[in-house]
Structure 1
């Protein structure tokens, strides 16, 4: 693919606000001059909106992101642009209730209208926490102005008693050890201090690192952006280079629609398999594709990712952390491996203006235990497995690289939890009729049910099972799980229980068959019995009376299409609205 730059100079979008000397122009321009801007800054320079998700209650987007903005500004100035910092909605998985996922779409809507409604010619998307990356890309894709992603970067490695500690991954591990009596509460608190020892996102291949990798694999970030640690000086260099680059992108009119093509999404799916990425990439990539209008479905994850070997040896699937991944060469090495194996659309365009292959073809792997050679991966079939059957007519997903091999084919008795509160009330009860052969089933935790599809799918095992030394069981839900989590966990079951999907009518004692190699998820009752149960089903959750929760529940779609709001799908463009002054 070749890219032909548009002629320059040309009239910029921002000139609809600031060009000329009419009353309306002076109204817009004059007020902004109160910051001391010289008149010639408004003479046709591209105005670059730096969309900043920094917030003190978003730990992954901490002070380092605020500092990166200054480096982006420097790059924009150097390239002849006019940078303006614009704060946008910041949804943090660490703090938002009922779930940050509920607010991903609100953030994307706010970002979209922030871009469309203001005199911005191009955007730098400052992201970090896992929901900020998709929400800003979704909003930018809906407007389709030149945009580039700059991530905040992962934290440094954690260590506890000489062991690498992965943020999130070891939270689940240590918590189970406490319940099993293998770790004291005091030791747990001591370990807490090592989990997040520097600013940045999760240091595992959790959802934040996965989505940073997806942005790079899509071509929406400069090559190498995903893995640079938050506190590394090279992260600041990347920010400054991105500031320079966005100005040229505006001149060339290089837009998300030029970059986020079907080929780009297929590259992202294969990359997700190779890195052992989060299952959350499924709902986010589907939603992003929905904003661009690309024909991209849940089945593409299985089609493109099924035969992809997981070669990145990072927690939660492997043993290392993002710091080692960066030192080994980062995502460019993975993309090169995919390209060498015929698994990469090499001519896919990136924000650099070059193809993805041109960006990575000469990189080197500096540690083949971290990024393994082909044939020596963690699993030969990584990616995301999409399961279907009478229990999940529209699909469910599982991450094979994080699952126990002996459970990938399993038949067990269902132990049902009607919602997350029911689970919490029962799971520690020694009288609960459950053992390691059972299948744990959690209902009403999907996009409508929780609401917001919280990360509760990786249900902790009952203490009575943990005390036997068992560390994994089959778990099925319509929820999500953290990208830092692990286990044989079937997620995103669609249609969800709160929408009357088959999951809603599973009963204690039902037998469930899981056959991951054949992509089957089956509730072992007759068709007639299933139909009768569905006919008798009545919703148990109440529709919120007002506010965003009402809007979300009324319009959110299923996980199988990305859990976006129905009226936000598609690209609505960046036409300048009427001036009211």
Structure 2
């Protein structure tokens, strides 16, 4: 362990005084059976836990927290576990994205207001990772990420199936009449057969990889299966390491640099990561004071080959990814081919990213492909602009149909999600495979919360004809486990007066991923006339947190954070006198 410095610990402002306040803080804590020597100036480490039985991805975190505590005690620290809002996408309505910022506020205030010197962030389900990093970044304390890990491979008919991705595929097959309800529901038990997050390269796995690529976790954190004993070893070692980070004053601002975010953007392309990473990385960067723009995804990510052959883009699942070498193997492959933008970026173990991965084993070239045999030659997130998306939109090429990445089609418009559900099953709907499906009012303000509904299911009548994909455009998000030629995050959104609100049935829309273009084929004068006739969506009638959300949420290109939360506020807190 690193030799402790003489730097005054933050926790001593509570526990280190011989006055009335120190007496009271220590005395209250002692009702838990804590002895005097725990208050002798050793680092107090918070364990920020998103455990919840309503967040099944994170329901095993009590056990993980115990292993973190062992490491903290072993390194001479004093662990204190505390709960924060657990926003799991699996159960929470209307979407966990609505409460990502709420969870980040919970984390920020819990860290700043309590006597802790550093924090271990226990994350899993996709929104918990950015929420906890956002909150911790706003305080700029030493922090380390411990992910809960992915589920074991799902099983159906003796074959592997991926969580999330299997649902989308099976449901489309059911609507097409290719399978019956018995076959559909047979997948239900076998899809989620262990603790952990989705076992595809969905948003949870993507954000776990982003945390590791950013340098905020120990190597291999992203991919170790949730029920693998090595997950508990990593938790233990993270507990040890966070104590050392306190003595080294290794705060998040030293890790979450511009260089770290550029490494993460390149990594996202290499793993075929979720489009949701665009929003979450922007929000995290905003909290620590790093300027990140949509153009950075084009400049850094485009041209990067997708090496990881995982569903929904490819064939395999997270178990195979870990056994093939996990993220360190990917980073080594990028680095050896001069595709790692900043190999010397600092990570939480005190070493550079490249030092951590330069000798990483690579076990399976089918799962983690060589540079010259990629899954997709250009897997970077496609950033689109045009008169339909003046502030940008995104598309994931690795999950799209190549022949649709340049397409012109007639718009079939759905004013909102309810309109879509009502209209898509109409056998008389005037739609064919060449059409472009457009859905409005599902963005940050419009839903509200920007739900994962952008991967609109295709009309049953076309599914029965064998149609598998169509161009779809919306201001919504989609699950990282989903797939298809889907344009998302259109900004500004329809509910904020964006041009998407002006699209009508029969308009022609042009998509050109290579040129980064999304164009509504009407004249400027016609578009201006339509926009003049529109009124912004009425957001009245909402109260409580939803009112706060609608009033203060930023657009997708800005990370959907609250305007008043952007920036680092530090960990200083006025001393309270009892």
TM-score range, shorter chain: over 0.9
**1:140 and 1:222 mapped to 2: Cα distance?**
17
The question of whether the paired residues in 2 share the 8 Å contact of 1:117 and 1:577 is answered with no
Worse-superposed segment, 341-350 or 436-445: 341-350
**1:521 and 1:28 mapped to 2: Cα distance?**
59
**1:105 and 1:248 mapped to 2: Cα distance?**
30
Q: Which residue in the other structure is 2:106 paired with?
A: 110
Q: Which residue in the other structure is 1:273 paired with?
A: 269
**1:51 and 1:162 mapped to 2: Cα distance?**
39
Q: Which residue in the other structure is 1:490 paired with?
A: 487
The one-character-per-residue Cα deviations of 1:458-503 (angstroms, maximum 9, x if unpaired) are 0000001101101100000000000000000000000000000000
The one-character-per-residue Cα deviations of 1:119-160 (angstroms, maximum 9, x if unpaired) are 010000000000000000000000000000000000000121
Q: Which residue in the other structure is 1:203 paired with?
A: 199
**2:155 and 2:490 mapped to 1: Cα distance?**
36
The question of whether the paired residues in 2 share the 8 Å contact of 1:48 and 1:247 is answered with yes
Which of 402, 413, 416 is the equivalent residue of 1:416? Answer: 413
**1:276 and 1:464 mapped to 2: Cα distance?**
31
Runs of 4+ in 1 over 6 A off after TM superposition: none
Q: Does 1:33 align with 2:37?
A: no
Q: Which residue in the other structure is 1:56 paired with?
A: 53
Q: Does 1:83 align with 2:84?
A: no
Q: Which residue in the other structure is 1:245 paired with?
A: 241
Worse-superposed segment, 21-30 or 349-358: 21-30
Worse-superposed segment, 535-544 or 252-261: 535-544
**1:429 and 1:512 mapped to 2: Cα distance?**
23
Q: Which residue in the other structure is 2:326 paired with?
A: 330
Q: Does 1:129 align with 2:122?
A: no
Q: How does 1:289-368 map to 2 (within 5 A)?
A: 289-344=285-340, 345-368=342-365
1:544 deviates by 4.2
Which of 247, 256, 279 is the equivalent residue of 2:252? Answer: 256
1:192 deviates by 1.1
1:6 deviates by 9.8
DSSP 3-state at the match of 1:72: helix
Which of 381, 386, 401 is the equivalent residue of 2:383? Answer: 386
Q: Does 1:512 align with 2:509?
A: yes
Q: Which residue in the other structure is 2:554 paired with?
A: 557
DSSP 3-state at the match of 2:488: strand
The question of whether the paired residues in 2 share the 8 Å contact of 1:13 and 1:576 is answered with no
The question of whether the paired residues in 2 share the 8 Å contact of 1:148 and 1:220 is answered with yes
Q: Does 1:533 align with 2:526?
A: no
Worse-superposed segment, 215-224 or 529-538: 529-538
Q: Which residue in the other structure is 1:173 paired with?
A: 169
The question of whether the paired residues in 1 share the 8 Å contact of 2:44 and 2:115 is answered with yes
The one-character-per-residue Cα deviations of 1:2-37 (angstroms, maximum 9, x if unpaired) are xxx997132100000011221111111100001111
**1:380 and 1:386 mapped to 2: Cα distance?**
17
**1:470 and 1:351 mapped to 2: Cα distance?**
48
Which of 217, 224, 228 is the equivalent residue of 1:228? Answer: 224
The question of whether the paired residues in 1 share the 8 Å contact of 2:539 and 2:550 is answered with no
1:545 deviates by 4.0
The question of whether the paired residues in 2 share the 8 Å contact of 1:228 and 1:234 is answered with yes
Which of 345, 348, 368 is the equivalent residue of 1:371? Answer: 368
Q: Which residue in the other structure is 1:93 paired with?
A: 89
**1:306 and 1:573 mapped to 2: Cα distance?**
35
Which of 42, 47, 50 is the equivalent residue of 2:44? Answer: 47
Provide TM-score, normalisation by structure 1.
Answer: 0.98
**1:503 and 1:263 mapped to 2: Cα distance?**
34
Q: Does 1:456 align with 2:453?
A: yes
Q: Given the superposition, is the C-alpha separation of residues 62 and 14 from structure 1 closer, same or farther in structure 2, using an over 3 Å criterion?
A: same
Aligned residues: 576
Q: Which residue in the other structure is 1:398 paired with?
A: 395
The question of whether the paired residues in 2 share the 8 Å contact of 1:6 and 1:253 is answered with no
The one-character-per-residue Cα deviations of 1:57-116 (angstroms, maximum 9, x if unpaired) are 0010012x1101000000000000000011111001011111110100000011000000
Which of 283, 286, 300 is the equivalent residue of 1:287? Answer: 283
Q: Which residue in the other structure is 1:160 paired with?
A: 156
**1:163 and 1:448 mapped to 2: Cα distance?**
41
The one-character-per-residue Cα deviations of 1:36-72 (angstroms, maximum 9, x if unpaired) are 1111111111000000000000010012x11010000
The one-character-per-residue Cα deviations of 1:337-383 (angstroms, maximum 9, x if unpaired) are 11112121111000000000000000121000000001111111102
The question of whether the paired residues in 2 share the 8 Å contact of 1:16 and 1:576 is answered with no
Q: How does 1:433-448 map to 2 (within 5 A)?
A: 433-448=430-445
The question of whether the paired residues in 1 share the 8 Å contact of 2:496 and 2:537 is answered with no
**2:489 and 2:77 mapped to 1: Cα distance?**
43
DSSP 3-state at the match of 2:509: strand
DSSP 3-state at the match of 2:490: strand
**1:285 and 1:340 mapped to 2: Cα distance?**
25
Provide TM-score, normalisation by structure 2.
Answer: 0.99
Q: Which residue in the other structure is 1:191 paired with?
A: 187
The one-character-per-residue Cα deviations of 1:311-343 (angstroms, maximum 9, x if unpaired) are 000000000000000000000011111111212
**2:246 and 2:98 mapped to 1: Cα distance?**
32
**2:303 and 2:540 mapped to 1: Cα distance?**
42
**2:42 and 2:105 mapped to 1: Cα distance?**
27
RMSD (Å), alpha carbons:
1.0
**2:117 and 2:294 mapped to 1: Cα distance?**
33
**1:391 and 1:162 mapped to 2: Cα distance?**
45
1:296 deviates by 1.0
Worse-superposed segment, 541-550 or 11-20: 541-550
**2:151 and 2:387 mapped to 1: Cα distance?**
42
Worse-superposed segment, 504-513 or 294-303: 294-303
